[in-house]
Structure 1
Amino acid sequence: MLQELSIRDFAIIDEIQISFQPKMTVLTGETGAGKSIIIDALGLLAGGRGSTEFIRKGEKKAVIQGLFTLPREANTYNILEEYGIDSEDGQIILQRDLYRGGRNICRINGMMVNLATLRKVGETLIDIHGQNEHQELMKPENHIDLLDEYDKKTSELRIQYQVVYQNYRKLKLSMEKKEADEKAWAQRLDMLNFQVKEIEEADLKINEEDELVGEKIDVVGNLGNAMNELSDVSDLSENLQEINTKISDAFYSLEDAARDISDELDSMEWNGERLNEIEERLELIHQLKRKYGDTIEDILHYHSRIEKELREMENAEQNSEKQERQLSEALENVKELAIKLSKQRKKSAKKLEKMIHEQLSALY
């Protein structure tokens, strides 16, 4: 507990020392007497944010000291040991000096520490509540949350109840949605069937579009090579001088050229068909991308999602009775857990009431 508080040159306070006794201490006084200033000083001692405005006018620094005593099992000693701060006599002295230039000097049992360390220790010694925080207790809508936070078992039951209730709400909303608009349900079912079938019939493959575009480029290149071959043959047939002088060789050359032309025409006919196939496939992919996603991966992801929705809707169509039974069972689970939670809350409330009375009686 806080034993003594010393404040010097802080706000309107010149110098003051306050000794505290066991149980409760009440600070009273008219408005402006400095009650809130003492609380502000305690906040700074606990590592709160400081300001040069706290320093008394005309002074260079403000000094705040607090003497605390704690039982040996208090967690504060573990923190002090972690930072190598001596606390063998069971007393802890916090000190904070605020300078006009903005500098802060913090000490714990005479050892200089940084503000973060002072805050870590101070949080275990001082707990400050604002003057309006008690108003939360006056709002009945907050009582349930406060009670559930108090008792671990009640909190666990509340979580279980929320899970089964959400399951019940999901089933109920699904049935209400179906019953509210049977026409829209049927239209949605037809649309999903069409979309799933359309994407499945396309039999899309990852990276297929890139491969088709690459093959298209190869096919067009082969056609270009065929045209060059035909051009060479044409030049060869127009060279009358060479044919007249080398009639024998020309005969065999033309015969070979005829065979080459036939082969190339066969190749061109095959490539033309393949090119058409590629163009049609790319157009199909383009149409599907306009409807279902920017990439083949997006289309396949969309297919998985609507296929799942379609299965759920078909199951709902086929299992209306089963769904009603599930809803009835879910409602029973909600009621059962609600009763358990209510009984546990009443039990916890009595326990909390008893502990509050014990705490209040200790203040007198």
Structure 2
Amino acid sequence: MLRSLDIRNMLLIDRLELSFGPGLNVLTGETGAGKSILLDCLGFVLGWRGRADLVRQGAAQGEVTAVFDLPEDHPAHSVLSDAGIEIDEGELILRRVNGGDGRKTGYVNDRRVSGEVLRQLSEALVELHGQHDDRGLLNPRGHRLLLDAFAGLDLEPARRAWAERRAALRDLDEAEARLAAARSEEDFLRHAVKELDDLAPVAGEEAELDTRRRAMQAAERIRGDVARALQMLGGEGAEGAMLDANRWLEGAADRAEGRLDEPISALSRALIELGEAHRGVEDALREMQFDPAALEAAEERLFALRALARKHDVLADDLAGLADELRQRLGRIDAGESMIADLRQRADEAARRYEDAAALLSKSRKTAAGQLDKAVSAELAPLKMERAVFETIVSAAEPGPDGQDAVAFTVATNPGAPAGPLDKIASGGELSRFLLALKVSLARGNDALVLIFDEIDRGVGGATADAVGRRLKVLADTAQVLVVTHSPQVAALGNSHFRVAKTVADGMTTSGVSALDHPQRVDEIARMLSGDRITDAAVAAARSLLEG
């Protein structure tokens, strides 16, 4: 509920504080008194895009503050939560300042917010209806939502089915794209896998081959020298000569009187060392024996490993892993058709579930459309439009999360006349009554919105104006209603009555609003009945209207 509106230095308003009550709040006043200014100011604080020149002439800035009472389950809490704003005790304070330079600054409970946040809040707080309203009932984009609310439809099954359908189609598209990409390199993969399988690389093999190759190459270079050295150490070389020398010395030792004992002992030791050297060189020479074909084979495999590694831009030790990866990619190609068939079946099943859910919505909407048409027709008769025809058209539309229906409210003002959109077919007065009949029919005890009607009774009078007022009163039983009106029949039904008046002082024009008590209401309604000269008959008629 809109509890209060505080306006400072906006348009013709110097300072204005208004307190609104529940039920039907009516605003009256002479033409040009400034009733539309109040709506401009309310729209300003709610972030609506409107006229730019709002600051009162001579003022540095203008400011509007609106205070709303929010119950715990009000939809505005969702908007506040998304914006990271918490409110205390259900009081929502919107404030917006318009600087003299045109800059606009908005606040929610003293926290600065963007105009977009204010507009999102306004959609949860206020609903405006008038002859030129393109944000409410006249907006065809919202007709399906209104019909769904009237029917009390649960859209979640269709939305879940739509999400599942989209996910299934996305998975199918991605799998088909991956398979197409894989097939473009299938020939390469099969050749590469065969090449790797033929070589059968093993991790660590390159280092082992390189070591063996180096050893064989080294042995090839030094084996001749080692063999010659072994020959020089053997019986035909140093060992034979030393044995001969040792034998000659031992033969002469008996006659040398001990002088050869030490040399013979040293020579014996040398022979022992020489024997060990001979055996060591002999062992080394034996180990250096290799098959030249083995060296050639090792070199060929080492070069093949390194060439394949360069070809695939990997390390030689990674070739075995690369072979496994390429085989997996080939496996995915081979299994791709089967997987895609499964995904296609899943997508088809998801599409059928969505089509079933959408068909159920379509059926429910068409049923609800007939019920809404009957309800609106029943409301049109008291509004002196019993010959008019209201029809809710449910037609096929592009599938979406909320089904595959388009909904449009159409009217024909006379039987046999072509039907068309509300704002294209009906005249000003007729449009007002159509909107009111539709709004009353759509009402379902939803007190979340403040309903504002801007001169919706224009062009009607007498019994028709009384019928308009009584239907506004019906709406006000379940929601707060603010109505700008020129109709005394409507004004008399208000729970709260405000009069807008214009005054001129010191060459400055100012609009003011005052809450009326019962005697003042009698005078105002009498003025509305008779004009500037209030007659006794007008006063009596005003009292009669107020008494109901």
TM-score by length of 1: 0.53
Larger Rg: 2
Matched-pair contact (CA < 8 Å) for 2:4–2:68: yes
5+ long unaligned stretches in structure 1:
178-184, 317-322
- Kept in 2: contact 1:196–1:303 (CA 8 A): yes
Residue 288 of structure 2: SS of its match in structure 1?
helix
Aligned position for 2:439: 360
**AA of the residue aligned to 1:64:** V
Equivalent pair of 1:7/1:17 in contact (CA under 8 Å):
yes
For 1:259 and 1:92, the matched residues in 2 are separated by 100
1:156 to 154, 160, 163: 160
- Letter paired with 1:115: R
Rounded to whole Å, the distance in 2 between the matches of 1:275 and 1:283 is: 12
Say if 1:196 and 1:307, in contact at 8 Å, map to a contact too: no
Aligned partners of 2:357, 2:372: CA distance in 1, in Å?
23
Q: Which amino acid counterpart does residue 222 of structure 1 have in structure 2?
A: A
Query: Is contact 1:3-1:67 (8 Å) kept?
Result: yes
The residue aligned with 1:41 is 45
1:214 aligned residue: 207
Q: 1:302 to 1:73 in 2, by over 3 A?
A: same
Deviation at 1:2, TM superposition (A): 2.0
Root-mean-square deviation over aligned CA pairs: 6.5
Q: State yes or no: 1:115 paired with 2:132.
A: no
**How many residues are treated as equivalent by the alignment?**
317
Please point out which of 282, 290, 301 is paired with 1:266: 290
Question: Are 1:6 and 1:15, in contact at CA under 8 Å, matched by a contact in 2?
Answer: no
Classify the secondary structure of the residue corresponding to 1:265.
coil
Q: State the partner residue of 1:64.
A: 64
Whichever residue aligns with residue 439 of structure 2, its letter is L
What residue in structure 2 maps to residue 306 of structure 1?
330
Q: CA deviation at 1:65?
A: 1.2
Q: Secondary structure at the match of 1:43?
A: coil
Q: Secondary structure at the match of 1:4?
A: strand
SS in 1 for 2:44: helix
Q: Which segments of 5 or more consecutive residues in structure 2 lack a partner in the other structure?
A: 243-270, 377-436, 444-450, 452-471, 473-548
- The equivalent residue for 1:5 is 5
Tell me if structure 2 keeps the 8 A contact 1:14–1:56: yes
Paired residues for 1:186-335 under 5 Å: 197-203=194-200, 208=203, 211-223=204-216, 226=219, 230=223, 233=226, 236=229, 247-248=241-242, 257-266=281-290, 270=294, 273-287=297-311, 300-312=324-336
Measure how far apart 1:66 and its partner are: 0.9
Instruction: Kindly provide the amino acid, as one letter, of the partner of residue 303 in structure 2.
Output: E
User: Helix, strand or coil: the match of 2:307?
Assistant: helix
One-letter amino acid of the structure 2 residue matched with residue 218 of structure 1: T
Counterpart CA distance in 1 for 2:191 and 2:41 is 74
Q: What is the CA–CA distance in structure 1 between the aligned matches of 2:59 and 2:67, rounded to whole Å?
A: 24
Amino acid at match of 1:7: I
Conserved 8 A contact 1:66-1:94: yes
For residue 266 of structure 1, report the CA deviation from its aligned partner: 2.5
The share of aligned pairs that are identical, in percent, is 13
Could you tell me the TM-score, scaled by structure 2's length?
0.39
Residue aligned with 1:214, SS: helix
- Alpha-carbon separation, structure 2, partners of 1:116 and 1:125: 13
Q: Specify which structure has the higher proportion of strand.
A: 2
Q: Which has the higher contact order (CA 8 A, sep 6+)?
A: 2
The aligned residue for residue 181 of structure 1 is none
- Partner amino acid, structure 2, of 1:153: P
The 8 Å contact of residues 107 and 118 in structure 1, kept in 2 or not, is answered as no
Flag the 1:355–1:327 CA change in 2: closer, same or farther, 3 A: same
Query: Quick check: 1:338 aligned with 2:355?
Result: yes
What residue in structure 1 maps to residue 508 of structure 2? Answer: none
The change in CA–CA distance for 1:125 and 1:262 in structure 2 (over 3 A counts) is: same
| Distance in 2 (alpha carbons) for counterparts of 1:281 and 1:359 | 83
